[in-house]
Amino acid sequence: MASFAINGSESRSFTILGCLGDYDLSKFAQLDRICDECYILYREPELNFSCRKDCFRNEVFGNCVDALYLSHEKKKLLQFVDQIFG
């Protein structure tokens, strides 16, 4: 498991979301992309914030995973959330 140094706008996103764990660019990007795809699916402006709230540790993120038919990956994705949440 690789952890990367935090810098630039990525660090602001990481810390603004309340993430305090290991910053892994690949995992963070995968979680972030789920929220982007969920927004594209529903076009609800509040999804941009609510899906990422508390470093992806919220009900909306889980609902987005299900809505995008990624339930088969949900356990792995929630492990990613735990790792970056801290």
CATH of the domain at 24: 1.10.2010.10
Domain membership of residue 30 (yes or no) is yes
Q: Structure pTM?
A: 0.83
Question: Is residue 16 in some structural domain?
Answer: yes
- In the prediction, which pLDDT does 6 show? 37
pLDDT at 18: 85
* Token couple for 28: 């963070």
Identify the pLDDT of residue 42: 96
- Which string of b and e fits 31-65 if b means at least 16 CB within 10 Å? bbebbeebbeeeeeeebeebbbbebbbeebbbebb
Tell whether 28 is covered by a domain.
Answer: yes
pLDDT of amino acid 64? 97
2 within some domain: no
What total number of domains does the chain contain? 1
Nearest to 56 by CA among 16, 9, 27, 17: 17
Contacting residues for 44 by C-beta, under 8 A, at least 6 apart: none
Q: Per-residue pLDDT for 3 more than 50?
A: no
Domain-located, residue 43: yes
39 in any annotated domain: yes
Residue 1 lies in a domain: no
Residue range 4-63, pLDDT digits in tens: 333 345 555 777 888 899 889 899 999 999 999 999 999 999 998 999 999 999 999 999
Note down the domain range covering 20. Answer: 8-85
Does residue 58 lie within any of the structural domains?
A: yes
